[in-house]
Amino acid sequence: MSDQRPVGVFDSGVGGLSVLREIRARLPHEYLIYCADSGFAPYGSRSAEEICERAFFLSQFLLQRSCKALVIACNTATAAAAAPLRQQWPDLPIIGMEPAVKPATAATRNGVVGVLATVGTLASARFAALLDTFGNDVDVLTQPCPGLMECVERGELDTPATRALLDSYLQPLLQAHADVIVLGCTHYVFLRSLVQELAGSDVRLIDTGAAVAAQLERKLIAASALALPQRPGNESFWVSGNDAHMDATLQFLWHEKAFFTLLPT
C-alpha cells in the first residue's frame, strides 16, 4: 500500500534544506513538510533544555499534520533532543544527524581531520562519544564557527564578510594539514563551493545529508510507509519568527516559487 502521509523535517533555520534536498532526490514521491525554527536560531548558543523544548514543539506541530516520520535536520538538535523524542514516540521513525566523523576518519590519507561545527554540537556528549569511538587513531581537530550559520540564514553565501569569516575558521585546520574537513552543520553544506575554493582541491569535504536520506528510506521501507510513485511529491515550508527576508532566502536556496508560512506560537 502507498502511504501518502507526509515526512516532517525540522532545523534551527534554513540549513536543513540541504538535507531536504537529499531526501527529495532519493524519495521523489514523498510529501515533505519543512520547519525552519529561525526565530530561535542559532541553537548553538542555547541550552540543551531550550533546544529540547523547541524540538518537542516542532515535532508536535508536524505530528498534528499526520507525519509518518521525523527528520531532525540539525546536529545540535539531534544531540540535545533525539533521545527524549524517541522515548516519547517509540514507534515513530525519528532520524537524526551527527557530524560525519566516522567516514572522515576512514577517508583521511594523513591522519588529520578537521570538523567545522557549531559550539553546541562540539560541546555535546554525543560528539564526545563520536570522538571516543572513531578518533583514537586519527587527529581530529574541531573548529567552532560562531556567526557562520547566520550568514547562510541571510543568504550570504559568497560575500566578502562570509569569505573572511570562513577563511578564519579554515586556516587553523589547513595549517595543521587536515586533508578531510567535515561540514558539521547543515547550514555549512550551502557553503561547500566556497569551502572547497578556500581549502583547495586536495582537501575532501564530507557531510551526512545523503546518509540521512538513505536512512529515512530504510526506515520507511521497514514500516511499509513509502509513498508509491502515483504522483510527484511536493513540499510545504513553515518558519518561526517574522523576518521579511526569509522567503528570499528560501527561494534562493530551494526554488523561486517557494514561500514560508508562519508557524503558530
Residue 167 falls within a domain, yes or no? yes
pLDDT band, residue 129 (cuts 50/70/90): confident
Instruction: Say if residue 115 is in the same domain as residue 194.
Output: yes
Q: How many domains, the chain? A: 2
DSSP string of 111-149, one letter each residue: SEEEEEE-HHHHHSHHHHHHHHHH-TTSEEEEEE-TTHH
Residue 238 belongs to what H/E stretch?
A: strand 235-239
Instruction: Say if residue 55 is in the same domain as residue 184.
Output: no
Segment 214-259, tens digit of pLDDT: 999 999 999 999 998 878 899 999 999 877 789 999 999 999 999 9
Instruction: Say if residue 58 is in the same domain as residue 146.
Output: no
d(CA 260, CA 201): 36
pLDDT band, residue 1 (cuts 50/70/90): low
Segment 165-207, tens digit of pLDDT: 999 999 999 999 999 999 999 999 999 999 999 999 999 999 9
Catalytic residue among 52, 74, 145, 151: 74
Other CB atoms within a 10 A radius of the CB of residue 140 amount to 22
Instruction: Say if residue 124 is in the same domain as residue 174.
Output: yes
Instruction: Say if residue 85 is in the same domain as residue 216.
Output: yes
Q: Is the pLDDT of residue 45 over 90?
A: no
The pLDDT of residue 135: 76
Instruction: Say if residue 85 is in the same domain as residue 120.
Output: no
The domain boundary, picked from 186, 206, 226, lies at 206
Residue 127 falls within a domain, yes or no? yes
Catalytic residue among 35, 67, 145, 185: 185
Which residues form the domain of 121?
A: 101-206
The domain boundary, picked from 206, 234, 253, lies at 206
185 catalytic per annotation: yes
Instruction: Say if residue 46 is in the same domain as residue 76.
Output: yes
Percentage of the chain exceeding pLDDT 70: 100
Backbone angles phi, psi at 130, to 5 degrees: -60, -45
Residue 1 falls within a domain, yes or no? no
Burial class of residue 5, CB neighbours in 10 A (0-12, 13-18, 19+): middle
Instruction: Say if residue 215 is in the same domain as residue 200.
Output: no
> Which one is predicted more confidently, 46 or 66?
66
Segment 50-90, tens digit of pLDDT: 999 999 999 999 999 999 999 999 999 999 999 999 999 99
Give the CATH number of the domain where residue 61 resides: 3.40.50.1860
Residue 189 falls within a domain, yes or no? yes
Residue 141 falls within a domain, yes or no? yes
151 catalytic per annotation: no
Instruction: Say if residue 122 is in the same domain as residue 188.
Output: yes
